[in-house]
Amino acid sequence: MGLMDILQSALAGNGAANGANAEQHFDQVAQHASTDELGAGLAGAMRSDQTPPFGDMVGKLFGQSSSTQQAGVLNQILATLGPAAASAIAGGALGRILSPGQTQVTPDQASQLSPAQVTDIAAHAEQAHPGIVDQVSQFYAQHSGLIKMLGSAALMVTLAKMKENATTRG
């Protein structure tokens, strides 16, 4: 069974019934999809009006992440915006944990930020650089177990976006 077959099966029929099995469907798809395919689907979900705003989703994922994963997503944002711009957003929360000249967040530093602060950082980052959605989505695609923390509605939108992307490509 190929990825498109799995996606069609996961999305077939009654949405409410599928939502109840969203994690199981997502696990099946994640086993067969590339990181790029998963990341593109997640980016579509993060931009969708059927899911919470990007910043809220990143804050939720941040709150469920290990300190190493937290540092990884913050470093993704830093790499995209640059340390000066990233340090100034969201009331300077990121700037307060970075030493002068520092361009990478450590896991210990990342764990000092709250999910609410990261929600603000991500929301500001998206306004400044909309492409951050794709980069953060690719980061989380490497940690697909975390994506399940977004809930069944976001998982089903992710699967639908993956199917859409596969249909337009192939």
Segments forming the whole domain that contains residue 143: 3-169
Q: How many domains does the chain have?
A: 1
CA gap 7, 1 in Å, rounded: 10
Across the chain, what does the average pLDDT equal?
87
Which is nearest to 149 in space by CA: 69, 36, 68?
69
pLDDT surpasses 90 at 67: yes
pLDDT tens figures, 82-135:
777 777 776 678 878 888 777 889 999 999 999 999 999 999 999 989 999 999
DSSP alpha helix (H) spans, the chain = 3-11, 15-20, 22-32, 35-47, 54-64, 67-81, 83-88, 93-97, 107-110, 115-128, 132-141, 144-147, 152-169
Residue 5 vs residue 113, higher pLDDT:
113
CA gap 113, 13 in Å, rounded: 42
Look-up of token digits 């969708």: 48
Confidence of residue 166 (pLDDT cuts 50, 70, 90): confident
CA gap 125, 114 in Å, rounded: 16
